[in-house]
Structure 1
Amino acid sequence: MSIDFPARFAGLDSDKLFDLEYGPDGTGTDCDAPQEYIEQLLVHLADWRARLLDGTRSDADAYRQALDAVREAWLQYSFRWVGGPNLPYPFDLPRQGVTA
């Protein structure tokens, strides 16, 4: 049975990390939860990467998208706070032919 790596990264963004820390109602205080979640995803990325390199998987574009999602989510989570700077979301530029 093949692991559905892309599904593990679906919907990943900084809002999800904030929900892990504060809960959906905003009253939680588990400040380790976002980091632990990202660490789990990094383990999955490492496994996925190894499979791409050994040729047992061929979904390199999906891997890159997942890696970019992890980077973007952590970047936004790490530097977004009430009263902080107004950051673009996402930091990536629009792809060719796509307008923001």
Structure 2
Amino acid sequence: MSIDFPALFAGVDSDALFELEYGPDGTGTDCDAPRDYVEQLLAHLADWRARLLDGTRTDADAYRAALDAVREAWLQYSFRWVGGPDLPYPFDLPQEVAS
């Protein structure tokens, strides 16, 4: 049975991490939930990476996109708060500028 790694990372963003902490109605206080979720994602990334390196998977571009999504989500989650700095979302440059 093959793991659908890209599907595990669908919807990963800082808003999802904030919802894990505060709940869908904004009244929760589970400060550990976002970190626990990201740790699970990192374990999946490690497994995915190993499979890419041993040749049993070939979806390196999807891996990079998933890794970037986790990085961006954690960065935004870690440094975004009410009254905090106005951060760009995402931090990546638009494609026309990056080329």
Q: TM-score normalised by the shorter chain: which range applies?
A: over 0.9
Count of residues paired in the alignment = 98
TM-superposed deviation, 1:43: 0.1
Give CA-to-partner distance per residue, 1:36-92, whole Å, 9 cap, x none: 000000000000000000000000000000000000000000000000000000000
1:13 counterpart letter in structure 2: D
Give yes or no for the alignment of 1:89 onto 2:73: no
Distance in 2 (CA, whole Å) between partners of 1:22 and 1:29 is: 5
Name the counterpart of 1:58. Answer: 58
Distance in 2 (CA, whole Å) between partners of 1:58 and 1:92 is: 25
Cα-Cα RMSD: 1.3
Give CA-to-partner distance per residue, 1:1-57, whole Å, 9 cap, x none: 110000000011000000000000000000000000000000000000000000000
Identity %: 86
Name the counterpart of 1:11. Answer: 11
Structure 1 residue ranges (4+ consecutive) displaced by more than 2 angstroms after TM superposition:
none
Structure 1 length-normalised TM: 0.95
Name the counterpart of 2:23. Answer: 23
> Gapped runs of 5+ residues in structure 2?
none
Name the counterpart of 2:78. Answer: 78
TM-superposed deviation, 1:96: 3.4
